[in-house]
């Protein structure tokens, strides 16, 4: 594999990751599948081309890799936040089912007025 093809896949990944993260579940699945596919393809291309890059090409790819890592970390943060919200909703829902959380949560009930 050539430097140009690795560079092209890297730029394609950066372009894909620059788009806003989809809100719909199916769109998210497609987005993550495309990212995963491109990452795998890029990785195999880099492994096949190991040692054939010039110093300038390697430094450019390293810089692009830093940008990719930052973009992937941003996507990961969004996913982690969504998972946290889902876990919180489940915990809250189970609390209501079990009766450990009163429906009047947040309201003050004075025991003396009963």
Cα–Cα distance for residue pair 112/114, rounded to 1 Å: 6
**How buried is residue 13: exposed, middle or buried, by Cβ count under 10 Å (0-12/13-18/19+)?**
buried
- What does the DSSP assignment read for 54-111? -HHHHHHHHHHHHHHHHHHHHHHHHHHHHHHHHHHHHHHHHHHHHTSS-TTTT----G
Cα–Cα distance for residue pair 54/102, rounded to 1 Å: 66
Write the CB contacts of 39 (distance below 8 Å, at least 6 apart in sequence). Answer: 13
Question: Which pLDDT score, from 0 to 100, does residue 2 have?
Answer: 84
Q: Which tens digits make up the pLDDT trace of 58-88?
A: 899 999 999 999 999 999 999 999 999 988 8
pLDDT band at 56 (very low <50, low <70, confident <90, very high): very high
Q: Which tens digits make up the pLDDT trace of 11-53?
A: 999 999 999 989 888 999 999 999 999 999 999 998 888 788 8
pLDDT above 90 for 111: no
Cα–Cα distance for residue pair 77/14, rounded to 1 Å: 17
């Amino acid at each position: 594999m050539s430097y140009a093809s690795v560079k092209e896949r890297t730029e394609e990944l950066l372009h894909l990751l620059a788009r806003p993260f989809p809100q719909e579940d199916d769109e998210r699945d497609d987005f993550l599948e495309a990212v995963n596919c491109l990452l795998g393809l890029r990785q195999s291309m880099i492994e096949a081309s190991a040692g054939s890059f010039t110093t300038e090409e390697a430094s450019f790819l390293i810089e692009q890799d830093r940008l990719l890592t930052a973009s992937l970390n941003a996507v990961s943060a969004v996913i982690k936040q969504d998972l946290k919200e889902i876990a919180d909703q489940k915990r809250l829902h189970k609390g209501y089912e079990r009766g450990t959380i009163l429906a009047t949560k947040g309201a003050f009930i004075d025991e003396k007025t009963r």
